[in-house]
Amino acid sequence: MFTIEINGKSVEANDGQMVIDAADAAGIYIPRFCYHKKLSVAANCRMCLVEVEKMGKPVPACATPAVSGMKVFTQSQKALDAQKAVMEFLLINHPLDCPICDQGGECELQDLALCYGEDVGRYTEGKRAVADEDIGPLVATEMTRCIHCTRCVRFGTEIAGFRELGMTGRGEKSRIGTYVKHFMQSEVSGNIIDLCPVGALTSKPYRFTARAWEMSQHRSIAPHDCLGSNIYVHTRGYEYSDFREVMRVIPRENESINETWLSDRDRFSYEGLHKDHRLTGPMIRKEGKWLQVDWPTALNFAANKLRDIINSKKPDQLAAIASPSSTLEELYLLQKIVRDLGSNNIDHRLHQSDFSQQENAPLFPGMSTELASIDSMDAILLVGSDIRREQPLAGLRVRKACLNGATIMRIGSIDHDVNFKLSENVHTTPSTLVESLQAVVDSLTSDANKSSIAKHLKNSEKSLIILGDEAQSHSQATLVRALCLEIAKLSNAKIAIMTLGANSAGAWIAGAVPHRKAAGENSSAVGLNAQTMFSQPRAAYILLNVEPEHDLIHSSTAIAALMAADFVMSLSPYMSPVHADLADVLLPIAPFTETDGTFVNVEGKWQSFNAVSPPYGEVRPGWKVLRVFGNLLELNGYDYICASEVRNELEKLLQHSNVPTDRTSLEKNTSNKPKGFEILYEWPAVCVDNVSRRANALQSILMPLQRTVSISSETAKDLGIQSEQLITLKQSDREITVPARIDARIPNTCVLVPKGVSLTSGFGDGFAEITVQRGESHA
């Protein structure tokens, strides 16, 4: 630490720090285009030229290291002249199309031209024009506007690990493009929209819909994965009007979670909130017909039905299933109602099949370290994880660790492509996954270091084991988890259980599990879980943000049970065709942008957010609906005035909670390899929940592989079929005929069923035996 002087003010600087960083830290603005604190220094735009005492020429502040005692002038005549000259050059080829440019009003070039540009150009020659390239449904290009700062290129190379864009040509002919047209395949490609200082790269779904100055900016939390990325939601319309609409979502910097980035899913999913997709008001089914009704009618109808069932049958005839992306408040109130009515049948573990030892779980599954610490790990073992698509920004951190020299290893049944180097890649089948983990445990316990994974973990000072969706939804998930815990214990590694949705941790804490009440308190009676509540059908069900045809690993059993039930009420912003078939009451609740709420992320961070717009139409926030519903059911203690009271109540309960850490223990491996085919499920990144599934642009990036059932080439040979030919899958009395695709990621004798897509709607019954036949069904 030393001091330098900027514009006469003394400023602290560190060794190796560039002048621009020191100035930024001191709040002194130096104009820039190519500089970005998360990217390497390119120093190609020259906008940041400043005068430095004893240096003849102006120097770029972004590429000039601070030196003790240095005197910098950012506003001297010499600096200003240089900056103005650079601006004049930049504007030579820049079109004067701000009125029709989507970046207008939030353009770095426009802003700086205001300060450093002349009002009349001296350049009378023709300007260059650059043909556009279609780089996919998310990012629109207008390459004539590009000023060649290469931020987008550096983002691709350095951060995303995907060299998609590049600068071709030279001098006046240089241009940014993909050279050969092809779609960008990164899960974080939208970040180049924020990075581009001009209107060359803009958001395709958002463009031409609003101007920056018409919108209000609201802080919120991204609702799709367990990181809880911080976002700003931009809305247009008066504060209390019905016309206030979400126009777009951009990242809000939070160094410890999402840094300055956002995944495409979090950025573009807002399209799914659009009113075209939404339920506008409550509906009840009367004699097979859906009727729009008012709230009191709908809620009374539901309360009476529920009361009748509970009185005539038993309370345990009620079950509730909730999405792990519901808010903490909704989950808490839902479990409270279910329990107050005398049932413990509540769950949120939509992808889970193995619930053994749930009593040994910690307060919530999560990380025993912080997200940011991933960057500095020496070794990382991914177990059944497609981190790039499941938690894209955690994936970027794994990549960062890899670039810092960490050894990244993987054990899993799907050979997902990665954007980092995999030092070990053990490609298993679901049934051999357990053996592979056992082998690591064995070599850690015996001296013979046979497994190199064990060696790496053991020899690394800081190591981490990451469990992804496959590990958690595995048919022997408890064993998988116990083995991972064992490996972690033996190698002194940290554990990260990357749970489903935005709020799995919150769901556990709120008590949305059948064996524990809120704050982890043991429930005297253990209720039915996400699987058994359907395999042992109940008379009444409550669905919270769940679409059973897509969200559940046991879709087919669940739908059968729901169809047969006396009463089903669904709380969701949407009505799906399946809801229309099986529900009796539809209560439209607000998505995350229209309600106050809290998500607890995988680290256990509580992040609350407020509604950014009033609920659409007759929609109401879920916590309010449940609060009123509790009152109508004549239950006590439902007089909350605001969402934070619900949160406070839970927080108070937590003060007395003392759930021990994860005690999941190793039990003997009892599985025998299933005969025939093994089934694998994959929820494509853009199909993980009801909101993302309705986001049009995101849906259009679904890869062909995610629209077909995948098999390996050997399996195809055995079945005697070619890619795209039909196969028939049969599981638990459900049968579908679908095109199959040969997919190199899939192990032999396995079939990968994509979930959350219409192709497989309603199909899937966990790991029940599956048969695969060529062609259409002969039955």
Partner 1 sequence: MTEAVTIAPETQAEIDRWLKKYPTDRKQSAVLQALMFVQRDNGGWLSEAHLNAIADYLELPRIAVYEVATFYDMYDLKPVGKNKIDVCTNISCKLCGCDKIVSHLEKRLGIKIGETTSDGRYTLKGVECLAACVGAPMMQINDLEYHEKLTPEKVDAILDRLEKEGDK
Residues in touch with ligand SF4 (CB under 6 A): 146-152, 176, 195-198, 200-201
Residue 330 sits in the site that holds partner 1 (CB under 8 A) = no
Q: At what angle do helices 643-654 and 328-340 cross, to 10 degrees?
A: 70
Q: Which does 171 bind (CB under 5 to 8 A by kind): ligand SF4, partner 1, ligand FES, none?
A: partner 1
DSSP string, 662-720: -----------PPSSBEEEEE--GGGSSTTGGG-HHHHTT--GGGGSEEE-HHHHHHHT
Regarding 186 and contact with partner 1 (CB under 8 A), the answer is no
Q: Pick one of partner 1, ligand SF4, ligand FES, none as the site partner of residue 170 (Cβ within 5 to 8 A by kind).
A: partner 1
Residue 207's Cα: distance from chain center in Å? Answer: 23
End-to-end CA separation in angstroms for the chain? 78
> And the tokens for 494?
């940290």
Is 596 within 8 Å of 643 (Cβ atoms)? yes
Query: Is the separation of the CB atoms in 490 and 441 below 8 Å?
Result: yes
If DSSP codes are grouped into helix, strand and coil, which group holds residue 658? Answer: coil
The answer to the question of residue 407 lying near partner 1 (CB under 8 A) is: no
Q: How buried is 744 (Cβ within 10 angstroms: 0-12 exposed, 13-18 middle, 19+ buried)?
A: exposed
d(CA 49, CA 637): 64
Per CB under 6 A, 32 contacts ligand FES: yes
164 binding partner 1? (CB under 8 A): yes
Q: How would you classify the pairing of strands 139-141 and 71-73?
A: unpaired
Q: Please report how close the Cβ of residue 151 comes to ligand FES at its closest, in angstroms.
A: 9
Among 179, 208, 238, 243, binds partner 1 (CB under 8 A): 179
Identity of the residue, 35 or 616, whose beta carbon is nearer to ligand FES in the bound complex = 35
Rounded to the nearest whole angstrom, what is the least distance from the CB of residue 439 to ligand SF4 in the complex? Answer: 47
Q: Which residues contact 440 (CB under 8 A, 6 or more apart)?
A: 411, 451, 453, 454, 457, 483, 487
Place of tokens 């008590």: 511
The stretch among 31-39, 155-163, 247-255, 551-559 that binds ligand FES (CB under 6 A) is: 31-39
Query: Minimum CB separation from ligand SF4 for residue 94, in Å?
Result: 10
* Cβ proximity to ligand FES, 62 vs 543, nearer residue: 62
How many residues at the interface with partner 1, by CB under 8 A? Answer: 13
Quote the CA–CA distance of 599 and 231 in Å, as a whole number: 13
Contacted entry of partner 1, ligand FES, ligand SF4, none for residue 62, CB cut-off 5 to 8 Å set by kind: ligand FES
Backbone angles phi, psi at 602, to 5 degrees: -65, -20
Picking from 200, 195, 171, the residue whose alpha carbon sits closest to that of residue 40 is: 195
Residue 356 as a binder of partner 1 (CB under 8 A): the answer is no
722 and 716 Cβ atoms separated by less than 8 Å: yes
> Per the structure block, which two tokens stand in for 143?
């390459």
Q: Does 47 bind ligand FES (CB under 6 A)?
A: yes
Smaller CB separation from ligand SF4, 152 or 721: 152
3-class secondary-structure state, position 196: coil
To the nearest whole angstrom, how small is the minimum distance from the Cβ of residue 348 to ligand SF4? 41
Side-by-side strand order, sheet with 346-347: 289-292, 283-286, 585-587, 567-571, 540-544, 318-322, 346-347
The whole-angstrom separation of Cα 600 and Cα 515 is 20
- The binder of 48, among ligand SF4, partner 1, ligand FES, none, by C-beta within 5 to 8 A per type, is ligand FES
Pick one of ligand FES, ligand SF4, partner 1, none as the site partner of residue 366 (Cβ within 5 to 8 A by kind).
Answer: none
Per partner kind, with CB cut-offs from 5 to 8 A, the member of ligand SF4, partner 1, ligand FES, none near residue 734 is none
CA 311 to chain centre: 42
Minimum CB distance to ligand FES, residue 167 (Å): 14
Using CB under 8 A as the binding rule, whether residue 166 contacts partner 1 is answered as yes
Q: Which of 171, 288, 405, 720 binds partner 1 (CB under 8 A)?
A: 171
179 binds, among ligand FES, ligand SF4, partner 1, none (CB under 5 to 8 A by kind): partner 1
Token pair 């909350």 in the structure block, residue: 640
From the list 6, 19, 48, 91, which residue makes contact with ligand FES (rule: CB under 6 A)?
48
Rounded Cα distance, 61 and 544, in Å: 54
Q: Is 668 in the site for partner 1 (CB under 8 A)?
A: no
582 lies in the site for ligand FES, by CB under 6 A:
no
Residue 178 touching partner 1 (CB under 8 A): yes
Tell me how far, at minimum, the Cβ of 585 lies from partner 1, in Å: 54
Tokens 């030919």 appear where?
A: 725
Pairing mode, if any, of strands 283-286 and 585-587?
antiparallel
Question: Which of the choices ligand FES, ligand SF4, partner 1, none does residue 136 contact, using the CB cut-off of 5 to 8 A by kind?
Answer: none
Binding span for partner 1 by CB under 8 A among 93-101, 167-175, 376-384, 421-429? 167-175
* Rounded CA separation 532/538 (Å): 10
Dump the DSSP string for 504-549.
HHHHHHHT-BTTB-GGGPBPSS----TTHHHHS--SEEEEES--HH
172 or 287: CB nearest partner 1: 172
Smallest gap from residue 143 Cβ to ligand SF4 (A): 7
Stretch that binds partner 1, among 166-174, 601-609, 631-639, 750-758 (CB under 8 A): 166-174
Is residue 167 a contact point for partner 1 (CB under 8 A)? yes
Q: Which is nearer to partner 1, 201 or 589 (CB)?
A: 201
Residue 60 touches which member of ligand SF4, partner 1, ligand FES, none, C-beta under 5-8 Å by kind: ligand FES
Contacts of 446 (CB under 8 A, 6+ apart): none
How many residues bind ligand FES (CB under 6 A)? The answer is: 12
Q: Which does 45 bind (CB under 5 to 8 A by kind): ligand SF4, ligand FES, partner 1, none?
A: ligand FES
Nearest approach, Cβ of residue 133 and ligand SF4 (Å): 11
Rounded to a whole number of angstroms, the minimum distance from the CB of residue 193 to ligand SF4 is: 9
Q: Quick check: 43 binds ligand FES (CB under 6 A)?
A: yes
Q: Please, which residue, 197 or 412, has the CB nearer to ligand SF4? A: 197
Q: Which residues contact 15 (CB under 8 A, 6 or more apart)?
A: 2
Tell me the chain's radius of gyration from C-alpha atoms: 28
46 belongs to the binding site for ligand FES (CB under 6 A): yes
Distances (CA, A) of 156 to 161, 163, 166, 190, 252: 6, 5, 9, 11, 20
Q: Does 403 participate in binding partner 1 (rule CB under 8 A)?
A: no
Among residues 58, 60, 548, 754, which is the contact residue for ligand FES, using CB under 6 A?
Answer: 60
**CB of 58 or CB of 365, closer to ligand FES:** 58
Q: In this complex, which beta carbon is closest to ligand FES, that of residue 107 or of residue 387? A: 107
Residue 567: its H or E element: strand 567-571
Question: Of 160-168, 317-325, 617-625, 738-746, which segment contacts partner 1 by CB under 8 A?
Answer: 160-168
By CB under 8 A, tell whether 181 contacts partner 1: no
The reply to whether 638 sits near ligand FES by the rule CB under 6 A is no
The binding track of 685-704 with respect to ligand FES, each residue x by CB under 6 A or -, is: --------------------
For residues 223, 102, 253 and 589, what is the CA-based torsion angle, rounded to 10 degrees?
A: -20
Any idea what DSSP says for residue 126? Answer: P
Please pick, from the candidates 13, 19, 21, 33, the single residue that binds ligand FES as defined by CB under 6 A. Answer: 33
Nearer to ligand SF4, 107 or 585 (CB): 107
Q: Is 771 helix (H, G, I), strand (E, B) or coil?
A: strand
Our CA angle for 643, 644, 646, nearest 5°, is: 70
Residues near ligand FES, by CB under 6 A: 32-35, 43-48, 60, 62
Residues near partner 1, by CB under 8 A: 163-171, 174, 178-180
